[in-house]
Amino acid sequence: MKVLNENTFDEEINKDKLVIVDFWAEWCMPCRMLTPILEKLEKEFTDVEFAKLNTDENPNVAFKYGIFSIPTVLMFYKGEVVNSFVGAMPESVVRREIEKAIEKIKA
């Protein structure tokens, strides 16, 4: 997963493909539970870009997108949020949310 910061965020989310961004923090136990799931799905969804942004180190981006609970996952296509979820979800739910985002951008 690509590590984003305030300098790289806007460029990365404005791609012509689905970009999944995990908003997380080092101290967050649910974040630590979600990371291996996203890393596994990154291998499955090879046409999707997976990235993470530490909210403690990049508070301006977190504030801009109204991130108050972590983990929060936002899915971007050409800079627009096309899907999202909050909290550590089971792999099946995360996969389904990614598939919904893919269907939305294909429509």
Please give the positions annotated as active site. 28, 31
CA neighbor of 49 nearest in space, from 85, 69, 74:
74
* Conformational region of residue 9, where left means phi above 0, alpha means psi within -120 to 50, and beta covers everything else: alpha
